[in-house]
């Protein structure tokens, strides 16, 4: 009886977890929510050292589709801007959003909105 209860509980927990959390990252829309042109954009696993360049950088207000397969969901995203230091958005969860909107204000503060 206890074994059956454990199986039912495990099945209920599994059913309650969103499919995206189980499958990892596959695709998302990256939106440049800044008023500046991004020179290059790269992504890496959260707080690791190896950056991977994305092939296209969105202009101000622009969108690009990013597709890849990874078991992780949390990444750092880095963008280079003309005459400014690179900006890093750290701990971005790409599994639970259709779009990741990168923002930066004049003082250099960076934040992410999700859609």
pTM: 0.76
The reported pLDDT for the residue numbered 68 is: 80
Mean pLDDT calculated for residue range 87-114: 93
Q: How confident is the model at residue 23 (pLDDT cuts 50, 70, 90)?
A: low
Mean pLDDT calculated for residue range 79-98: 89
Q: What is the residue range of 74's domain?
A: 24-114
CA 12 to chain centre: 28
Q: Is 60 exceeded by the pLDDT of residue 5?
A: no
What residues contact 23, with CB distance under 8 A and at least 6 apart?
95
The reported pLDDT for the residue numbered 12 is: 38
Q: How confident is the model at residue 26 (pLDDT cuts 50, 70, 90)?
A: confident
Mean pLDDT of the chain, nearest integer: 81
Q: What is the 3-state secondary structure (H, E, C) of the chain?
A: CHHHHHHHHHHHHHHHCCHHHHHCEEEEEEEECCCCCEEEEEEEECCCCCCEECCCCCCCCCEEEEEEEECCCEEEEEEEECCCCCEEEEEEECCCCCEEEEEECCCCCEEEEEC
Which CATH number fits the domain that encloses residue 99?
2.60.40.2890
Per-residue tokens: 52: 């991977």
Q: How many domains does the chain have?
A: 1
Q: Identify whether 5 is part of a domain.
A: no
């Amino acid at each position: 009886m206890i074994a059956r209860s454990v199986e039912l509980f495990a099945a209920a927990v599994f059913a309650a977890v969103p499919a995206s959390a189980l499958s990892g990252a596959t695709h998302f829309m990256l939106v440049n929510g800044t008023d500046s042109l991004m020179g290059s954009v790269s992504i890496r696993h959260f707080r690791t050292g190896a950056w991977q360049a994305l092939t296209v950088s969105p202009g101000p207000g622009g969108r690009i589709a990013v597709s890849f397969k990874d078991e992780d969901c949390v990444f750092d995203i880095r963008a280079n801007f003309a005459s400014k230091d690179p900006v890093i958005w750290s701990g971005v969860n790409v599994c639970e959003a259709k779009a990741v909107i990168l923002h930066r204000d004049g003082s250099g503060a960076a934040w992410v909105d999700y859609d």
